[in-house]
């Protein structure tokens, strides 16, 4: 079985500053409506936004060659299932890349503290 991993860490304060500076344009460029609704339903939304940002970055790192094959921020969606476990959903260009590269599954783990959010991703290929 072939696999690839990616990891990323985000400073929550930095993400909040960027969000406030660039406003909805930044948020709408990076996050899907479902991701935004989820984060804004929480007491500390920037922790959840930062964790999803880190997950997307970790996926891009696991994919490699991002400059050649960039799948787009919103085409990779990170949502929690009914039990709270984060899952990756592929859309548009990301789904095309997933199929072409024969990615069978993407496993993701998220964590955050008051200051940092981290994500680890493992792509499993057929």
pLDDT digits (tens, 9 = 90+) for 102-116: 999 999 999 999 999
Which residues of the chain fall below pLDDT 50? none
Whether the Cβ atoms of residue 55 and residue 77 lie closer than 8 Å to each other:
no
Q: How many CB atoms lie within 10 A of CB 33?
A: 10
H/E segment holding residue 121? strand 116-125
CATH number, domain of 43, equals: 3.90.470.20
Q: What pLDDT is recorded for position 68?
A: 60
The vertex-58 CA angle with 52 and 63, nearest 5°, equals: 130
Number of domains in the chain: 1
pLDDT at 4: 97
- pLDDT score recorded for residue 66: 65
Distance in angstroms (rounded) separating the CA atoms of residues 115 and 41: 19
- The whole-number pLDDT of residue 70 equals 76
Residue 69, pLDDT score:
64
Quote the CA–CA distance of 22 and 31 in Å, as a whole number: 14
**Domain interval for residue 112:** 3-125
């Amino acid at each position: 079985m072939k696999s690839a991993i990616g990891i990323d860490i985000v400073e929550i304060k930095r993400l909040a500053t960027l969000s406030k500076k660039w406003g909805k344009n930044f948020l709408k460029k990076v996050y899907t409506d479902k991701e935004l609704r989820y984060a804004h339903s929480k007491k500390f939304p920037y922790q959840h936004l930062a964790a999803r940002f880190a997950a997307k970055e970790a996926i891009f790192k696991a994919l490699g060659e991002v400059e050649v094959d960039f799948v787009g921020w919103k085409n990779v969606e990170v949502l929690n299932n009914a039990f709270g476990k984060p899952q990756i959903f592929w859309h548009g260009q990301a789904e095309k890349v997933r199929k072409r590269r024969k990615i069978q599954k993407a496993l993701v783990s998220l964590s955050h503290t008051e200051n940092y959010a981290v994500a680890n991703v493992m792509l499993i290929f057929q």
